[in-house]
Amino acid sequence: MKKATNQPTIFSIYAEDKKGLVGQVLVHFNKRSYEVISLNVARTDISDLLLLTIEAVVPADDLRPFTGRLKKIVEVYAIQTYADCLKKTGFFRLNALALNSELWLMIGKYGAFISAMGKTTFVVSKTGTDNDLDELYGKLEGPHLLGFCKSGLIVEESLVPFEEL
């Protein structure tokens, strides 16, 4: 694998929804041993049109030619690349014993919310950058934090009208 000396790049790819499309796109990343950090596939309001959001480490010198190769995939209509501006949703599973007034204040301060509640655990969710999620993780870390994951979303600027594709 190539050394990850560059910052991640976000690829917003509008493409026709065809069987095997995601695999076909990822083959290009795998051939060059580019690290894929996150992948999100979302349907759009236009029938048979998908928005793939891929966060990957691609060397700056390779970015333009690599994007050109991705554009040659028949089903791909448009590609935009962005620097680190991808928002993600973090999910923090906590022991119910952690639920107190101090935690409620922290959840509010960080713009998070409780998204699920069980008998012995609950889940706090927050949408933000990696730094936002890491900061909240640091505050929640301890014996009551039972699990954590984050899910990539999209870059808001990538939502473009179909006429511009």
Query: Is-contact 15 78, C-beta < 8 A?
Result: no
Q: In the prediction, which pLDDT does 118 show? A: 94
Pairing of the two strands 49-57 and 145-152:
unpaired
Q: What are phi and psi for residue 156, nearest 5 degrees?
A: -55, -35
Task: Assess whether pLDDT exceeds 70 at residue 60.
Answer: yes
Q: Element (H or E) spanning 32, and its range? A: none
Q: pTM for this one? A: 0.74
Q: At what angle do helices 21-31 and 60-71 cross, to 10 degrees?
A: 150
- Model confidence over 3-48: pLDDT tens digits? 445 788 999 999 999 999 999 999 999 999 999 998 999 888 888 8
- What the block records as the tokens of 46 is 């236009």
Task: Assess whether pLDDT exceeds 90 at residue 103.
Answer: yes
Q: In the prediction, which pLDDT does 3 show? A: 46
